[in-house]
């Protein structure tokens, strides 16, 4: 997939939140390229800016957040330059998002079928009958049992896993080119999580849609992704092919994340957590933002922000150890 046809390129993205306590630099000078047809994982601890980055792609950063700088090129078009009317056409029809909690994504007052057909009718010139027919097809695609009956069900009549399938069917209803799944299984129990991941994998294969998974779970990354970007404190610190990242992690933060994964062979070993806490994003540390937690920190790390270096085979790392 590497070196293929790019579908999304983010350049120098900065997203800040203007709060009473000060300016939170949630995303700072972020660069990323995603290729058509791949499954890409954006990974990092809670609050590292991964969801904000992908919301910026849809131009749905909630206030008091604002996209301050950067370019987001989707299929050759800079989304940040589009009028809102054009952007609305792209949301849902070309890029769609499956959010973390299906309970908040669905409106409790309307049936699952109504909410799916509404999306279709808002973007396509089709009759209500054919939109309903399309919704029924989609319910079958996402493997909702008794799809005809479920179309008439209200969200409270559906289980968590079923609701996430409905949300996924809505996200797929307009054949998007890019599907962003933001921690799509976090709110679900473990067996249902596995089913939803399996479903996303199938859909990605069947329809060739480009899938971006936002997750803090390295197990999900290993299971699903072709390529991975690791984020720390608002910036990408490492990008690599999934095998390369797990086999040869370079950034000290990535190494820490991998050491914190339980494995069958390490049952009696203590899992290592990364010492320290994520930095204050109003006054982030100078230089490399990871330096207060890094066991390899040098003087230069406290002064200069490391630039992204290409280590070959598409493996990129932002760390002074390699410059």
How far apart, in whole angstroms, are the C-alpha atoms of residue 41 and residue 83? 29
Q: Is 160 helix (H, G, I), strand (E, B) or coil?
A: helix
CA 263 → CA 100, 202, 217, 278, distances in Å? 26, 26, 13, 25
Q: Does 307 bind ligand SF4 (CB under 6 A)?
A: no
Q: Does 166 bind ligand SF4 (CB under 6 A)?
A: no
Whichever of 225 and 301 has its CB closer to ligand SF4, that residue is 301
- Would you give the binding string for ligand SF4 spanning residues 219-258, x where CB under 6 A is met? --------------------------------xx------
Q: Compute the C-alpha angle 108/114/117, nearest 5°.
A: 135
Q: Least distance from C-beta 253 to ligand SF4, angstroms?
A: 6
Q: Least distance from C-beta 237 to ligand SF4, angstroms?
A: 7
Tell which one of 200, 301, 315, 316 touches ligand SF4 (CB under 6 A). 301
E-strand ranges in the chain read 6-19, 22-35, 39-43, 65-74, 77-78, 95-98, 178-182, 210-215, 227-232, 235-241, 308-310, 316-318
Whichever of 113 and 306 has its CB closer to ligand SF4, that residue is 306
Q: Does 177 bind ligand SF4 (CB under 6 A)?
A: no
Half-sphere exposure of 33 (CA within 13 A, CB side): 13
Whichever of 18 and 322 has its CB closer to ligand SF4, that residue is 322
How far apart, in whole angstroms, are the C-alpha atoms of residue 228 and residue 5? 17
Residue with tokens 């370079």: 250
Span interacting with ligand SF4, options 73-81, 141-149, 269-277, 291-299, rule CB under 6 A: 291-299
How many residues line the site for ligand SF4 (CB under 6 A)?
14
Span interacting with ligand SF4, options 11-19, 50-58, 87-95, 288-296, rule CB under 6 A: 288-296
Residue with tokens 């933001």: 182
Q: Least distance from C-beta 301 to ligand SF4, angstroms?
A: 3
DSSP, residue by residue, 185-237: TTTS-HHHHHHHHHHHHHHHHHH--EEEEEES-HHHHHHH-SEEEEEETTEEE
Tell which one of 149, 296, 307, 310 touches ligand SF4 (CB under 6 A). 296
Whichever of 161 and 287 has its CB closer to ligand SF4, that residue is 287
Q: Least distance from C-beta 302 to ligand SF4, angstroms?
A: 8
Tell which one of 171, 294, 315, 316 touches ligand SF4 (CB under 6 A). 294
Q: Least distance from C-beta 279 to ligand SF4, angstroms?
A: 12
Span interacting with ligand SF4, options 5-13, 51-59, 158-166, 283-291, rule CB under 6 A: 283-291
Q: What is the largest CA-CA distance in the chain?
A: 67
Span interacting with ligand SF4, options 19-27, 136-144, 264-272, 296-304, rule CB under 6 A: 296-304
Q: Does 321 bind ligand SF4 (CB under 6 A)?
A: yes
Half-sphere exposure of 284 (CA within 13 A, CB side): 22
Q: Which residues contact 207 (CB under 8 A, 6 or more apart)?
A: 172, 175
Q: Least distance from C-beta 78 to ligand SF4, angstroms?
A: 31
Residue with tokens 């350049």: 11
Binding site for ligand SF4 (CB under 6 A): 251-252, 288, 290-291, 294, 296-298, 301, 306, 319-321
């Amino acid at each position: 997939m590497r070196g293929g046809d790019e579908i999304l390129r983010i350049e120098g993205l900065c997203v800040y939140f203007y709060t009473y306590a000060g300016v939170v630099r949630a995303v700072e000078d972020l660069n990323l390229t995603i290729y058509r047809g791949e499954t890409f994982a954006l990974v990092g601890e809670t609050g590292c800016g991964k969801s904000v980055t992908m919301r910026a792609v849809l131009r749905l950063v909630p206030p008091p957040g604002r996209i301050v700088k950067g370019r987001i090129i989707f299929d050759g078009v800079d989304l940040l330059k589009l009028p809102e009317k054009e952007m609305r056409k792209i949301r849902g029809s070309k890029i769609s998002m499956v959010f973390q909690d299906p309970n908040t994504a669905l409106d409790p007052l309307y049936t699952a079928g109504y909410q799916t057909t509404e999306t279709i009718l808002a973007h396509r010139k089709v009759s209500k009958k054919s939109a309903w027919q399309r919704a029924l097809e989609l319910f079958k695609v996402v493997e909702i049992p008794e799809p005809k009956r479920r179309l008439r069900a209200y969200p409270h009549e559906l289980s968590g896993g079923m609701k996430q399938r409905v949300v996924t069917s809505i996200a797929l209803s307009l054949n998007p080119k890019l599907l962003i799944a933001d921690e799509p299984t976090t709110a679900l129990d473990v067996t249902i999580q596995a089913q939803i991941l399996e479903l996303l994998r199938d859909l990605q294969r069947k329809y060739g849609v480009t899938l971006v998974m936002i997750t803090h779970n390295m197990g999900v990354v290993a299971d699903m992704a072709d390529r991975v970007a690791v984020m720390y404190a608002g910036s990408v610190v490492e990008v690599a092919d999934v095998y390369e990242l797990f086999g040869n992690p370079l950034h000290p933060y990535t190494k820490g994340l991998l050491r914190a994964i339980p494995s069958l062979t390490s049952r009696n070993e203590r899992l290592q957590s990364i010492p320290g806490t994520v930095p204050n994003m109003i006054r982030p540390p100078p230089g490399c933002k990871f330096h207060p937690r890094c066991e390899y920190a040098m003087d230069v790390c406290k002064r200069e922000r490391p630039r992204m270096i290409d280590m070959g085979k598409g493996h990129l790392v932002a760390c002074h150890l390699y410059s």
